[in-house]
Structures are given as structure tokens and as C-alpha cells.
């Protein structure tokens, strides 16, 4: 009797990957779409960031692969698939880092193979041929040696650019919003040689951080938060205080030569379908300036305008009331009675600072369940393999960590997250028991997948605990539950009739969609045309379907021509600014950018 051996059992991970890549490239070269799709597993996911689709797009199943390749293969003309390091194998899955080329650019990616074929494939564009960033051996000299009449110094050239922009020279891109998102994108555009202006209403870069409540610090660890090109120094604190971040952002904009207009407010924007040009009217420190870019980016953060509930009695309340985004800090409220409505990051930070400063009483109103994870635990279990000193020592660069995270399609990301968050829960069970005994209502996401997917799905509140949760657990910060129905002259009244005396009410009630900024600046018709911004369509809390597979309208083309959205945390601002900048650069250079899978419109609910 002859025994048939499983080929996967007799070949090394490197041989399996090399064989798959060779077969894949041969099928693509022959334009044999069915053959290429057949190299994927029955259940499979191909996530493409710009390289094949000029979009951020995930296709699922062999039919999805077939449809995408049928649409894009002739124009993309991919080739040169190869591994960049030794593939590895575990639990029946082989993983490999790859590189490849397209007709117009160069790409990097990641492949996961099972016995059935490709389970996940990530392809990303990282540079355009002929438009490479001036780095490494291609860095600019900075000076022309020798004697030159009428030499223009770097300072003179830089001042001329700043003075001419918006007057005798027009930016190709206007970025509205000068937080970490706008700054990261500005740095990318500068390196790619894209004329740009980043506008921000604050007096200095970083002031949007400086202006927040004084106890604010990053809840994410430093390894997760680097900006492009210029990482934080090795002695930077793990959790940076807000003012230190503000100083860093101000320095960064200057060193990276970003065309940053502070004290500038965008008054209006409109797009001319015939000229393919925006008219953007701004107030630049009291002077009206009209800019005429071809591309407009709204980089106003992950969220939109603050959500401030409309409540009966707000006009009769004699104390102070404001949204958490306007909270100045605790110093003015020593000896005061404070009610904070909400139970998310901002609510905990503000409650903790008020208690430390000596408020007479601090009460948190929890309206819905909240996910809490201790910061140290998140670092050790949730992020440690990718973003930590341990990861660095193992050779995990920031770029590789970002790509690893990106290689997990959103559809199956929860499968990787659930075990980690179960481990976190077990590690800190005593902590969670104390919170629940105090009456705090915890949750771990609709499917137990925890923090990251709640954030990506726009789920209910979460808090990365840096200490304030203990104040709730031990009763130092009082806890109330339910919806607020009205304010009296000196109290907050809940739906169950509870009366909470208050001199200050803080609405830690979150933010609306970024779509709201489009409505304000451009018009409701454009906001409706674009549809929802952010969220995956996961049919979980606050993230109704249909399923998108990627963040809605973020970092990619929208239904409104030449309008883009950019934002998120520091990690997302760093990583996705590359793909947005490459899309903008390609359009500047006249490189054809046929978009596959432009997102359909799903209106705000």
C-alpha cells in the first residue's frame, strides 16, 4: 500500500511560501484570475492599503479576490513577489513578510498560509516609483558647496515659501486640523514634496493638548505613539503628560518643515465640479484668506463636535456646566460639589483630578456599561508583543509592529483579541470584583473582544485605568446610574428620581461623527453625500451595519471628490498618514488612480 504524504508536512515554511508566491505571481502575470483566487483558502481575507485598489479595502473569500483582481489586475501589473525574512510556522499557519512591485510603486505585505492556501494577505503601497522620499542615501545635501552669487540660504528659501503660500502660490492640499493627525500628514506631504497648508485655530502647534484639563496624559504607552520619521527619544516617559506632548508637537512641526498656520479658522469650503478646485475661506489671525487647493482633508480628530445633551433646566441651573473638552482642570472647584456625566476616559480623568484637588464631592453618573482595562496590564498583555522594550529587544520595529497589526483583517480581529482580554480579566479579577461590588457596571464588548474593537466600532465607553478606577471602587468618587432627566438650580436629577447636588456639571458625553464637521464647513448636502465616518458596520453597540470591512471614509476616497478624512490616535495618525499622503501625491503627479470598491453611502442614524 502506497502512503501519500501531505506536502505541507514535508516542506519548510520558506519552501511553502516561495512556492505560493511563485504560483501567485505566475497566475497574475498570465492574468489568470481564477487560478490566482484558487490559491486562497475558502475562508480568506485580502486587505489592501492602496497598492492594488487605490483605496483601503478588504475583500473576503475567493469570490472577493476574483472580483477585485478582475477589476484591477491590468492596471496594477504586480510583479516581483519575494520574502524579506525567513518565514515562520506555528499551529498549522505559516507567516511571511513580503515585498512586491506594481506598475507605479513598491509595496510591502504579509502572508498567512494554511494547508488550504492563503488565509490572510496584506498588501500595502509604501512608495511611488520616481517619487521616492529623500531618505538615507537619497537625503538632500542641504547646501551647494562652492561660491555662488546671490545664494539663497535655507532660511531664506523657507521664509519665502511660508510668505508666498496662499498668496502667489497655492497649496495642492489644505488640511483642516492641526492635531496629531494633521501634523503627521503634513510631515508626510512635506517629505513627498506636496505643497500643503495645515490650518489650526490654536495659537501654537500643540495647544489643543495644552488647553485640555491639566491632569491629562497619554493612556497609550510611548512605543505605540511615535510620529512619522522622528520617534520619541529613548528617555521619553511611558505615559507623556499633555503639555510635554504639546511641546513635542510644536517642535515637530518646525523641524519637519510643515506649513502650519496657527490662529487660523476655516470659515467655509466649496468644491467646483468644473475646475476641480476647492475654495477654502479662512480667517488667519484676523485676516481673511482664500485658498484654492485641489484636495481638502478634514483632520479634526477621530470624532466630531462635542456631544452636549439638551436637558430640561439647563437654563435655570445656577452653577457651571461644560463639556469635558472645555474642562479647564480642577483648581477652581476646590470645595465644590461636582457631577460628571459619563464613565469613559475623560470622565475618570476629570473625577480623579477633582478628588485630588479637594472638591467637596465628586459623583460619576454611569449611563451605560463601561469597559476598563488597567494600563499596566494592557501594556504587558495587549501591546507588549508589538509595542514595548521587550518587543524592541526582539527586533520588532515600529513599522513592523504597525504592519503586524494591519495584517489582521477587522472581520477576524476579535478572534485574536478575545484570548488576550480574557487573560487580562483573569489577571486583574480582584480589581474587577471591587468595582462591581461598588456598583460599577462593566463590559468587555459585545463579543468579549475588549478595548481595541470598542474603539474601532465606536462602541460604548472605555477607560484605560491609570488610577482613578480605585477611587470609584473605594467610594471616594461616588457612583450613580441612569439617564439625566433635568437640572434644577443646584442639582442633577436622574430618571429614578435621585437628586445629585451640584455646583459644576461636566458632560463627559463623547463626540459626534466627523461627518458633522463636513456639514458645518461645506454643507449638509456634502455630509449626506459622504455618509457615516468611522466605524466598521459590525452590528455591535453604536456601530450598525452594513459591514464595511474598513473604517468608514477614513484615509481613503469618499463619495465627494477630493474630500478626505484623517484622524485617530497617534498610532493611526502615524500609520495611515502614509497611505493618504501617497494617494494625494499620485493625484498631484497625474498618476492614474482608479479606485476599486468606493464606499457606498450609509447615512447617520
Tell me the mean pLDDT in the region 393-403.
Answer: 95
Q: Which pLDDT value is given to residue 5?
A: 39
pLDDT digits (tens, 9 = 90+) for 218-239: 888 999 999 999 999 999 999 9
The 3-state DSSP composition of the chain as helix, strand, coil percent (nearest 5) reads 35, 25, 40
The number of residues making up the chain comes to: 605
Q: Which pLDDT value is given to residue 603?
A: 57
Burial 336-368 (b: 16+ CB within 10 A, else e): bbbbbbbbbbbbbbbbbbbbebebebbbbbbbb
- Of residues 9 and 162, which shows the higher confidence score? 162
Tell me the mean pLDDT in the region 500-507.
Answer: 98
Beta strands in 359-456 (DSSP E): 361-366, 371-374
> In which band, very low, low, confident or very high, does the pLDDT at 383 lie, cut at 50, 70 and 90?
confident
Identify which of 44, 70, 79, 100 has the alpha carbon closest to the alpha carbon of residue 596: 70
Q: Which pLDDT value is given to residue 453?
A: 61
Q: Which DSSP category does 19 fall into?
A: H
Where do the domains of the chain lie, and which CATH numbers do they carry? 7-128 (3.10.450.50), 156-305+513-588 (3.50.50.60), 320-507 (3.50.50.60)
Tell me the mean pLDDT in the region 72-78.
Answer: 98
**pLDDT above 80: residue 301:** no
> In which band, very low, low, confident or very high, does the pLDDT at 51 lie, cut at 50, 70 and 90?
very high
- Of residues 534 and 364, which shows the higher confidence score? 364
Tell me the mean pLDDT in the region 548-567.
Answer: 95
> What percentage of the chain exceeds 90 in pLDDT?
77
pLDDT digits (tens, 9 = 90+) for 189-207: 999 999 999 999 999 999 9
C-alpha cell at 204: 501654537
Tell me the mean pLDDT in the region 431-438.
Answer: 96
Tell me the mean pLDDT in the region 229-256.
Answer: 96
**pLDDT above 80: residue 3:** no
Rounded CA gap, 125 and 479, in Å? 49
> In which band, very low, low, confident or very high, does the pLDDT at 460 lie, cut at 50, 70 and 90?
low
Q: Which pLDDT value is given to residue 605?
A: 46
Window from 115-124, 271-280, 377-386 with minimum mean pLDDT = 377-386
**pLDDT above 70: residue 83:** yes
Element (H, E) at 72: helix 61-76
Q: In the predicted model, what is the mean pLDDT of the chain? A: 92
Handedness of CA 200, 190, 256, 386 (dihedral sign): positive
**pLDDT above 90: residue 277:** yes
C-alpha cell at 94: 505559516
Tell me the mean pLDDT in the region 447-455.
Answer: 64
Tell me the mean pLDDT in the region 398-412.
Answer: 95
Q: Show Cβ contacts of residue 143 under 8 Å, excluding neighbours closer than 6 positions.
A: 154
Q: Which pLDDT value is given to residue 379?
A: 87
**pLDDT above 70: residue 8:** no
The contacts found for 8-12 with CB under 8 angstroms, 24 or more apart, are 8/115
Within its chain, how far is the Cα of 281 from the centroid?
Answer: 27
Tell me the mean pLDDT in the region 39-52.
Answer: 98
> In which band, very low, low, confident or very high, does the pLDDT at 213 lie, cut at 50, 70 and 90?
confident
**pLDDT above 90: residue 541:** no
**pLDDT above 50: residue 2:** no
Tell me the mean pLDDT in the region 401-417.
Answer: 91
Q: Which pLDDT value is given to residue 461?
A: 75
Q: Which pLDDT value is given to residue 452?
A: 60
- Of residues 450 and 171, which shows the higher confidence score? 171
**pLDDT above 80: residue 319:** yes
**pLDDT above 90: residue 178:** yes
Identify which of 578, 573, 535, 599 has the alpha carbon closest to the alpha carbon of residue 299: 573
> Any alpha helices (H) in 168-265, and if so which ranges?
180-192, 207-210, 242-255
Beta strands in 154-201 (DSSP E): 173-176, 196-199
Identify which of 285, 196, 291, 210 has the alpha carbon closest to the alpha carbon of residue 244: 210
Q: Which pLDDT value is given to residue 602?
A: 63
Helices 180-192, 570-588: crossing angle, 10 deg rounding = 40
Window from 5-14, 79-88, 328-337, 528-537 with minimum mean pLDDT = 5-14
Amino acid at each position: 500500500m502506497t502512503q501519500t504524504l501531505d506536502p505541507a508536512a514535508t516542506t519548510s515554511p520558506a519552501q511553502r511560501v516561495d512556492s505560493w508566491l511563485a504560483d501567485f505571481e505566475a497566475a497574475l502575470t498570465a492574468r489568470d484570475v481564477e487560478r490566482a483566487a484558487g490559491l486562497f483558502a475558502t475562508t480568506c481575507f485580502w486587505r489592501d492599503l492602496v497598492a492594488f485598489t487605490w483605496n483601503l479595502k478588504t475583500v473576503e473569500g475567493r469570490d472577493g479576490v476574483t472580483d477585485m483582481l478582475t477589476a484591477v489586475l491590468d492596471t496594477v501589473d504586480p510583479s516581483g513577489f519575494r520574502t524579506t525574512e525567513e518565514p515562520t510556522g506555528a499551529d498549522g499557519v505559516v507567516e511571511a513578510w513580503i515585498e512586491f512591485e506594481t506598475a507605479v510603486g513598491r509595496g510591502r505585505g504579509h502572508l498567512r498560509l494554511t494547508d488550504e492556501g492563503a488565509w490572510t494577505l496584506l498588501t500595502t503601497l509604501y512608495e511611488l516609483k520616481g517619487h521616492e522620499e529623500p531618505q538615507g542615501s537619497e537625503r538632500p545635501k542641504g547646501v551647494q558647496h562652492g561660491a555662488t552669487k546671490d545664494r539663497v540660504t535655507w532660511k531664506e528659501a523657507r521664509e519665502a515659501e511660508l510668505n508666498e503660500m496662499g498668496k502667489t502660490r497655492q497649496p495642492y492640499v489644505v488640511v483642516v486640523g492641526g492635531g496629531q493627525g494633521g501634523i503627521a500628514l503634513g510631515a508626510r506631504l512635506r517629505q513627498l514634496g506636496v505643497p500643503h497648508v495645515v490650518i489650526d485655530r490654536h495659537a501654537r502647534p500643540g495647544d489643543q493638548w495644552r488647553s485640555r484639563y491639566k491632569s491629562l496624559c497619554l493612556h497609550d504607552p510611548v512605543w505605540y505613539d511615535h510620529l512619522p520619521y522622528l520617534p520619541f527619544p529613548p528617555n521619553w516617559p511611558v505615559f507623556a503628560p499633555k503639555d510635554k506632548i504639546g511641546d513635542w508637537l510644536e517642535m515637530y512641526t518646525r523641524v519637519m518643515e510643515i506649513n502650519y498656520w496657527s490662529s487660523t479658522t476655516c470659515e467655509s469650503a466649496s468644491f467646483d465640479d468644473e475646475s476641480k478646485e476647492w475654495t477654502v475661506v479662512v480667517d488667519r489671525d484676523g485676516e481673511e484668506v482664500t485658498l484654492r487647493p485641489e484636495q481638502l482633508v478634514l483632520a479634526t480628530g477621530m470624532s466630531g463636535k462635542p456631544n452636549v445633551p439638551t436637558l430640561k433646566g439647563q437654563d435655570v441651573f445656577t452653577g457651571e456646566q461644560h463639556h469635558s473638552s472645555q474642562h479647564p482642570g480642577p483648581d477652581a472647584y476646590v470645595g465644590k460639589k461636582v457631577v460628571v456625566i459619563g464613565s469613559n476616559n475623560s470622565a475618570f480623568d476629570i473625577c480623579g483630578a477633582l478628588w485630588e484637588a479637594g472638591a467637596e464631592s465628586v459623583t460619576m453618573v454611569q449611563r451605560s456599561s463601561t469597559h476598563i482595562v488597567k494600563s499596566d496590564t494592557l501594556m504587558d498583555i495587549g501591546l507588549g508583543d508589538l509595542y514595548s522594550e521587550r518587543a524592541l529587544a526582539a527586533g520588532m520595529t515600529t513599522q513592523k509592529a504597525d504592519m503586524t497589526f494591519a495584517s489582521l483583517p477587522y472581520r477576524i480581529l476579535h478572534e485574536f483579541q478575545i484570548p488576550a482580554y480574557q487573560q487580562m480579566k483573569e489577571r486583574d479579577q480582584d480589581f474587577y470584583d471591587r468595582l462591581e461590588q461598588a456598583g460599577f457596571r462593566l463590559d468587555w464588548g459585545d463579543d468579549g473582544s475588549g478595548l481595541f474593537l470598542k474603539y474601532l466600532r465606536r462602541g460604548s465607553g472605555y477607560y484605560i485605568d491609570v488610577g482613578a478606577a480605585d477611587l470609584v471602587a473605594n467610594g471616594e468618587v461616588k457612583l450613580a446610574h441612569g439617564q439625566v432627566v433635568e437640572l434644577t438650580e443646584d442639582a442633577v436629577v436622574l430618571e429614578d428620581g435621585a437628586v445629585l447636588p451640584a455646583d459644576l456639571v461636566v458632560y463627559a458625553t463623547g463626540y459626534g461623527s466627523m461627518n458633522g464637521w463636513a456639514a458645518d464647513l461645506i454643507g449638509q448636502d456634502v455630509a449626506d453625500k459622504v455618509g457615516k465616518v468611522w466605524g466598521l458596520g459590525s452590528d455591535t453597540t453604536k456601530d450598525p451595519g452594513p459591514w464595511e470591512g474598513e473604517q468608514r471614509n477614513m484615509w481613503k476616497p469618499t463619495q465627494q471628490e477630493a474630500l478626505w478624512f484623517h484622524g485617530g490616535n497617534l498610532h493611526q495618525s502615524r500609520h495611515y498618514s502614509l497611505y493618504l499622503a501617497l494617494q494625494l501625491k499620485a493625484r498631484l503627479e497625474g498618476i492614474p488612480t482608479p479606485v476599486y470598491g468606493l464606499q457606498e453611502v450609509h447615512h447617520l442614524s
